[in-house]
Amino acid sequence: MQIIQATEYTLQSLLRFLEQVDKATYSKPLDIFNGSSLGGHTRHIIEFYHCLIKNYNQGTINYDLRERDKNIETDPELASVAVQNIITELQKINLNDQVELHMSYDPQNSAVDTVVSNVKREVVYNLEHTIHHMALIKIGVKTAAPQIELENEFGVAPSTIKFQQNSCVQ
């Protein structure tokens, strides 16, 4: 499976979650998330993809400067539309395009560091980031909304799935 197909596969799983969750559950602050919500984690995933898709043509990506849309955090239907749009837009990108990744890790200083990257590497990063946040969403669902059915593979890295499958065979 290629990176775009793997990303779509993972995002389709996120869509199945969004189809099941109601607005109140989606936007409710959870103690296990230090007051964040299932919607907060979903918004975070979406915003990273939006940042990539919006900026890769300009040759510079800075995830720190992503747009934050609170509506995506409170409305699972709006989040679902955003995820569907991401899937569509990812089909159009050129994975070989070079980009500069800008970041700043010093909260006291706005100095930016730069890394040369390419779009394919940034899609890989976004997919790994998505899986990580989906694992957190899974914890939140088990805690606050156990009636929501998530696939066993929801929020689990492909390498972990392969390892578990190989361990069961032996």
Q: How far apart are CA 25 and CA 15, in angstroms?
A: 16
Q: Please count the structural domains in the chain.
A: 1
**pLDDT for position 167:** 73
Q: Is the pLDDT of residue 109 over 90?
A: no
**pLDDT for position 169:** 59
- Find the mean pLDDT for residues 8-14: 97
Neighbours of 145 (CB within 10 A): 19
pLDDT per residue as tens digits for the range 147-170: 999 999 999 888 787 777 777 756
For residue 74, the domain's CATH number is: 1.20.120.450
**pLDDT for position 170:** 60
Confidence of residue 52 (pLDDT cuts 50, 70, 90): very high
Residue scoring higher pLDDT (166 or 93):
93
- Find the mean pLDDT for residues 4-26: 97
pLDDT per residue as tens digits for the range 113-150: 999 999 999 999 999 999 999 999 999 999 999 999 99
**pLDDT for position 158:** 80
Query: Do 83 and 14 form a contact (C-beta atoms < 8 A)?
Result: yes
- Boundaries of domain holding 100: 3-169
**pLDDT for position 162:** 74
Confidence of residue 106 (pLDDT cuts 50, 70, 90): confident
Q: Is the pLDDT of residue 74 over 90?
A: yes
H/E segment holding residue 113: strand 113-118
Query: Do 76 and 26 form a contact (C-beta atoms < 8 A)?
Result: yes
Give the pTM.
0.92
